[in-house]
């Protein structure tokens, strides 16, 4: 994705809130979501964030604010999901972004600009839903730092499996329990085998955890039996959101052999409402590096382009808000801060590997990046790493401690990109809250 005028850091908007320092949604971002009024009196439809406002794309379409392919794209977004828009492909995605940018920039005038002003809705008044009909959800495992941290806890003589350095490992997850930020879910029940035990116990999970991830939305898919080449993968990715892959660790460790996670992962996955487009992320690509001593990727997972700019520097934070903090009006506690640039496999490599055997991705499919952990302890993307399997609980700002998550806890993920000479763009947040388990 080439840089263009929509990445100009000097560009500002007549929506003044978009120009505020630290704003997640300046004119250089323009992410998409699906929303309606919080009262529920209207229908869900696509929207674009600008400052503290949502551009109602159904109104944009009805008001003829845009022309040509951009108008067709807006019409495709005037639906309860963005799948049809995703399927239109990169030319339509760019036409909508560039058309809105032209109308939103400072100094823009004319009947279409005046019409667009009437299409703004304050974000504070809206509710969101999952932005696409997700046909399939694949969760990857691509952070060598996360894998090594887990290995130190449970496999000190074999930190990562032999295949980890050769391919992006993944499993297919559950779509029906994917929810939008604000999701509340019950603590899951399942079987747990105590160390040295001979018979499993059944009951509520006692080692509930979060996983800091990114969600990757597929735009255009591929035909069954056809591969997406590594250097073409970006043209098939519409954009990226935040994703919390909640995990029941005690259930997971008992059930994983030999096929992988099941009940430990299928009870909830929480994503942020806003999808930041691949075009908006273009300034934040950087070189992807593989340690020289490690196996180098096989040819279908290797290219000069991927090495030159396959990595993405997305800054990520995890915050924890306990029931006590909420009741006493205290601020949440930050648990960790890392960057997606540390991931062992790139987004393009995930897409290419997913399709190399002939799997047909479809518009709206969701890929999880896998837990994102950096090289230092403070960059861990899961509580099991920070608290070393619960043996060294994390102390929060108010003195509470957590080895694993408790009922009433809310986990908040935040993300943004920034560097000198570029506009800061944000992802909003993903927030999920744990409710007590139903009694068995």
d(CA 228, CA 226): 7
Give me 389's structure tokens: 């399997």
Rounded to 5 degrees, what are φ and ψ at 186?
Answer: -85, 145
Identify the sign of the CA torsion 90, 96, 99, 100: negative
Burial class (CB in 10 A: 0-12, 13-18, 19+), 276: buried
Tell me the three-class secondary structure of the chain, residue by residue: CCCCHHHCCCCCECCHHHHCCCCCCCCCCCCEEEEEECCCCCCCEEEEEECCEEEEHHHHHHCCCCCHHHHHHHHHHCCCCCHHHHHHCHHHHHHHHHHHHHHHECCCCCHHHHHHHCCEEEHHHEEEECCCCCCCEEEEECCHHHHHHHHHHHCCCCCCCCCCCCCCEEEECCCCCEEECCEEEECCEEEECCCCCCCCEEEECCCEECCEEEEEEECCCCCCCCCCCHHHHHHHEEEEEEEECCEEHHHHHHHCCCCCCCCCCCCCEEECCCEEECCCCHHHEECCCCCCCCCCCCHHHCCHHHHHHCEECCEEEEEEECHHHHHCCCCCEEEEEEEHHHCCCCHHHHHHHHHCCCCCCCCCCEEECCCCCCCCHHHCCCHHHHCCCCCCCEECCCCCEECCCCCCCEEEEEEEECCCCCCCEEEEEEEEEEECCCCC
Yes or no: say if 270 and 431 are a contact pair by the CB < 8 Å rule: yes
Residue 392: half-sphere exposure toward Cβ, Cα within 13 Å: 6
Yes or no: say if 45 and 80 are a contact pair by the CB < 8 Å rule: yes
Q: Is 305 a catalytic residue?
A: no
Active-site residue among 146, 285, 342, 353?
146
Active site residues: 146
């Amino acid at each position: 994705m080439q840089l263009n005028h929509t990445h100009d850091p000097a560009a500002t908007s007549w929506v003044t809130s978009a120009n505020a320092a630290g704003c997640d949604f300046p004119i250089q971002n323009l992410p998409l979501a699906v929303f309606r009024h919080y009262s529920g009196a209207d229908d869900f439809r696509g929207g674009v964030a600008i400052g503290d406002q949502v551009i109602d794309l159904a109104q944009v379409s009805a008001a003829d604010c845009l022309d040509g392919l951009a108008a067709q794209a807006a019409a495709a977004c005037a639906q309860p999901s963005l799948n049809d828009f995703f399927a239109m492909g990169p030319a339509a995605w760019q036409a909508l972004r560039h058309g809105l940018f032209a109308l939103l920039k400072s100094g823009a005038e004319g009947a279409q600009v005046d019409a667009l002003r009437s299409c703004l809705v304050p974000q504070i008044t809206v509710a969101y839903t999952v932005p696409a009909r997700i046909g399939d959800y694949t969760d990857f495992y691509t952070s060598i730092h996360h894998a090594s941290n887990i290995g130190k806890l449970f496999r000190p003589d074999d930190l990562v499996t032999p295949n980890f350095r050769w391919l992006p490992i993944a499993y297919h997850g559950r779509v029906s329990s994917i929810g939008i930020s604000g999701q509340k879910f019950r603590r899951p029940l399942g079987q747990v085998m105590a160390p040295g035990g001979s018979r499993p116990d059944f009951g509520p999970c006692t080692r509930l955890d979060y996983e800091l991830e990114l969600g990757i939305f597929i735009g255009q898919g591929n035909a069954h039996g056809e591969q997406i080449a590594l250097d073409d993968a970006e043209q098939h990715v519409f954009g990226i959101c935040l994703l919390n892959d909640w995990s029941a660790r005690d259930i997971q460790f008992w059930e994983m052999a030999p096929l992988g996670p099941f009940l430990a992962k299928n009870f909830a996955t929480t994503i942020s409402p806003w999808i930041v487009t691949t075009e908006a992320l273009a300034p934040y690509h950087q070189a992807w590096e593989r340690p020289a001593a490690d196996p180098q990727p096989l040819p279908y997972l290797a290219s000069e382009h991927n090495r030159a700019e396959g990595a993405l520097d997305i800054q990520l934070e995890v915050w924890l808000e306990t029931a006590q903090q909420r009741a006493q009006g205290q601020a949440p506690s930050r648990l960790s801060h890392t960057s997606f640039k540390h991931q062992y496999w790139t987004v393009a490599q995930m897409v290419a590997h997913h399709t190399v055997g002939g799997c047909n991705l479809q518009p709206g499919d969701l890929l999880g990046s896998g837990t994102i952990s950096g090289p230092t302890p403070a960059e861990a993307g899961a509580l099991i790493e920070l608290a070393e399997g619960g043996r060294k609980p994390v102390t929060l700002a108010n003195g509470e401690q957590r080895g694993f998550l408790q009922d009433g806890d809310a986990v908040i993920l935040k993300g943004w990109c920034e560097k000198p000479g570029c506009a800061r763009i944000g992802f909003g947040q993903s927030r999920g809250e744990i409710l007590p388990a139903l009694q068995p």
